[in-house]
A = this chain, B = another copy of it.
Amino acid sequence: MENDLLKDLKEAVLESISPKTEERAYLKEIAELLIKKIDRIACSMNLKDVSAKLVGSAARNTWISGTHDLDIFIMFPGDASRAELEKKGLIIARMIAEESESFEERYAEHPYINMRYRGFDVDIVPCFRVDSASCIRSAVDRTPFHNEFIKENIQGLEKEVLLLKQFMKGTGVYGSELRTQGFSGYLTELLVIKYGSFENVIRSACDWQPGTYIDLNSHGIMKHKEPLIMVDPTDPKRNVAAALSLDKFCMFIDSCREFVLHPSLDIFFPRAVIQIDDMKLFQKLKSRGTAFIAITFKTPDVVEDVLYPQLYKMEQAVVALLEEHEFKVLNKGSWAGQNTVVLLELISANLPALSKHRGPPVWVHQHAESFKNKYMAAEDVFTFYIENGIYVAEVPRKYPDAYLLLKERLTSCSIGKQVSFAVKDGFKVLRGSEICSIQDPSLKLFLMNWPGI
């Protein structure tokens, strides 16, 4: 990377993603307004030790222009009862939400409210104010500690964080939700603190190995098996990168090397894939000479963090079912819109009418005799012979067609609860061109990028 080119590139990216003064001022105004309202309501409810706090990237100046997310925590005393926090926290949040454009109650470890409020996507989350991150009572209690740590250590590096976040977005590895299994905002910030700049993170990552271990405070006390271990500076037992999958870890390494060799704006802002029509898409898939089979069903009404792990589990179960019946799976993937599509690409969807069933060696008298008796008595055996000293019965294959196998046996697969309900409610198995006929632009995109991300 030449320095001048890199400097120009960084400036161009920042020009596009740094919030302008007015945008910043507006966010600050709204955040302060909400905090004031919450504090006032708490006071009126005689909750003296309860107060609101802005956390997340909005609080640490590491948000990208255009992403208007606010995370406001209602902090209860560490010794408050869980029942009180849940009940009173929700009362306060609901009173705020009454003024919103729209809102819904969501449930993580305890209930919280998500609302649209004057152009912002706001989470109002009750939590306990504990003494340290290692003695939290609920997962969200950790966030305020992260907030403090980053605020203390990020000064002067905020732009580096913006660049790294945008780089990760552009390369498809940003986001720690279970669908993406990539890098969280907090992890991105810690990487910048560790390496000191955007380009230092990029250069270092080029040589990362699975098991890369980063411990800012040298206080890690646990062994981890994940590809990247970033010891949480606020909680030495925790790996901040626990959700990062091996493939997203590798995709990041790959993108960093790509950027070092060919720095470009495109890697931050990849060009949109041009949509092609159904016929061309079908031709593209057909040219692979493989067999596509899709299972579709109505997407269950659950959050993505519940849906995607179940879909990934379903993919595994379906591949296992197919392989148990000797079908070879080349690639697999899931897509969820209104309907969900689990897509399998096979070497072939058809196998011979028979399968070779190998019995015991002929000289193992008893076993050999009962094997022979069993298959000689069966009427539908194709043929029976000895091969390499072993009895072989050629028996009719139960499922010579993968399509019928899936239709008949899918519901016996072990798949996640909600997905399983949705499948049992009704599913279709589609083949070849039928798959391309599902009308959804994002499914087309998914197919056009097949395989790969």
Contacts and interface: CB of A to CB of B under 8 A. Distances in A.
Contacts of A337: none
Contacts of A397: 289
Interface in A235-291: 246-247, 249-251, 253-254, 257, 287-290
Interface stretch (A30-38, A51-59, A187-195, A202-210): A202-210
A330 interface: yes
Interface string A280-311: 00000001111000000000000000000000
Contacts of A450: 383
A371 to B, nearest CB: 11
Nearest to A385: B452
A288 B352 contact: yes
Interface residues of A, number: 49
Task: Among A207, A363, A386, find the residue whose CB has the most chain B CB atoms closer than 10 A.
Answer: A363
Interface string A434-453: 00000000000000001111
Contact of A208 (B209, B363, B387): B363
Contacts of A361: 210, 250
A196 interface: no
A386 B288 contact: no
Interface in A197-250: 206-210, 227, 246-247, 249-250
A91 interface: no
Interface in A335-368: 347-348, 350-354, 356, 361-363, 365, 368
Nearest to A362: B250
Closest 8 CB pairs of A and B: A289-B353, A385-B452, A250-B362, A289-B352, A290-B352, A246-B389, A209-B363, A250-B386
Interface of A: 206-210, 227, 246-247, 249-251, 253-254, 257, 287-290, 330, 347-348, 350-354, 356, 361-363, 365, 368-369, 372, 382-389, 394, 397, 400, 450-453
